[in-house]
Copies of this chain bind each other. A is one copy, B any other.
């Protein structure tokens, strides 16, 4: 059982990669606390442990992957600099990781990105780094990114589809297991699958019996469909408040890793996302962005539909980020009623 099957290609990301990433991030990434809630435990009849990546540097788990990827570039690549395109948390993560590592960064963001995220990304920038704003209607970011990267010999740091990014994100779950011990199940949000595949690899490595469940907005269910059909499905500009999950599909690296290491992917409605947001802001007193509560929304759904799956169990939940638009979330919570 312990000798590798010669017919199975070696995984591009292993628990050893995640563990190495964790060592590289020591003292650099925050080690956000794990929060619990008596109300949440009572609601689910489980012991629930929430890893709070809203307290991560630059406000989301994305910093882990960005830093791990940039730190592993060759000196020559580091000297030339890196490029990222993102309207969200990956942009801030790359800007900050680049500054910390002394690598210049070029970040391509759409002109209609939230002003707060544009401002935050600019604030994180190091020397000879810049944010390039483009018009979403006139150009695709991939085309623009590829063009600028080629012109300037920059290395593209993708938001999820890269082994070093995946290994970095996996350190989130690794820390959770280190802190709370064994878990029966772990709920993780899915966008492009970087966090989900990384966390699943960590779980397989240190707590093999733990079921790993991805949670995706029903309005952007490409990963759930891909997982169940075992063929890559895509969505186009899905309409969900969980903006971090608006990615068109799982990636070339993340899809097979998700298939190999994840137990299930479930979907939640927009209403379920809002109710999870309301619970987290009102009861747990945490500022989490809509994408960040997907995992909790999934747990709450299962606790209601199939209580036996969680009752009496030890459950991990990853709150992936806290870069919330406070005005928007307040309106969503108000609409959800008392």
Binding site for B on A (CB under 8 A): 33, 35, 38, 54-55, 57, 59, 115-116, 119, 281-282, 285-288, 322, 324, 326-327, 329-330, 333-334, 338
Return A253 CB to nearest CB of chain B, in Å.
Answer: 30
Given A33-B33, A35-B55, A55-B35, are A282 and B326 neighbors across the interface (CB < 8 Å)?
Answer: yes
Residues in B with CB closer than 8 Å to A286 are 285-287
Residues in B with CB closer than 8 Å to A333 are 326-327
Q: How far is the CA of A35 from the CA of B288 in the complex (A)?
A: 16
Q: Is the CB of B338 within 8 A of A119?
A: yes
Q: Is the CB of A288 within 8 A of B285?
A: yes
Q: How far is the CA of A317 from the CA of B333 in the complex (A)?
A: 29
Q: How far is the CA of A334 from the CA of B328 in the complex (A)?
A: 11
Residues in B with CB closer than 8 Å to A35 are 33, 55
Residues in B with CB closer than 8 Å to A338 are 115-116, 119
Q: Is the CB of B115 within 8 A of A54?
A: no
Return A6 CB to nearest CB of chain B, in Å.
Answer: 48
Task: Please tell me which one of the listed residues B54, B281, B327 contacts residue A334 in the complex, with CB atoms under 8 A apart.
Answer: B327
Task: Please tell me which one of the listed residues B54, B59, B285, B330 contacts residue A54 in the complex, with CB atoms under 8 A apart.
Answer: B285
Q: Is the CB of A281 within 8 A of B287?
A: yes
Q: Is the CB of B326 within 8 A of A327?
A: no
Q: Is the CB of B59 within 8 A of A322?
A: no
11 contacts between A and B (CB under 8 A): A33-B33, A33-B35, A35-B55, A115-B338, A281-B287, A285-B287, A285-B324, A287-B287, A327-B330, A327-B334, A330-B330
Q: How far is the CA of A246 from the CA of B115 in the complex (A)?
A: 36
Q: How far is the CA of A57 from the CA of B39 in the complex (A)?
A: 10
Q: How far is the CA of A333 from the CA of B35 in the complex (A)?
A: 26
Residues in B with CB closer than 8 Å to A57 are 38
**A55 (CB) vs chain B CBs: closest residue:** B285
Q: How far is the CA of A116 from the CA of B285 in the complex (A)?
A: 14
Known pairs A35-B55, A38-B57, A54-B285 / 4 extra A-B pairs, C-beta < 8 Å: A33-B35, A55-B285, A285-B287, A326-B330
Q: How far is the CA of A116 from the CA of B334 in the complex (A)?
A: 12
**A53 (CB) vs chain B CBs: closest residue:** B285
Q: Is the CB of B322 within 8 A of A285?
A: yes
Return A330 CB to nearest CB of chain B, in Å.
Answer: 3
**A119 (CB) vs chain B CBs: closest residue:** B338
**A57 (CB) vs chain B CBs: closest residue:** B38
**A319 (CB) vs chain B CBs: closest residue:** B285
Return A153 CB to nearest CB of chain B, in Å.
Answer: 32
Q: How far is the CA of A334 from the CA of B326 in the complex (A)?
A: 9
Residues in B with CB closer than 8 Å to A324 are 285
Q: How far is the CA of A59 from the CA of B287 in the complex (A)?
A: 15
Q: How far is the CA of A281 from the CA of B281 in the complex (A)?
A: 11
Q: How far is the CA of A282 from the CA of B322 in the complex (A)?
A: 9
Q: How far is the CA of A268 from the CA of B324 in the complex (A)?
A: 27
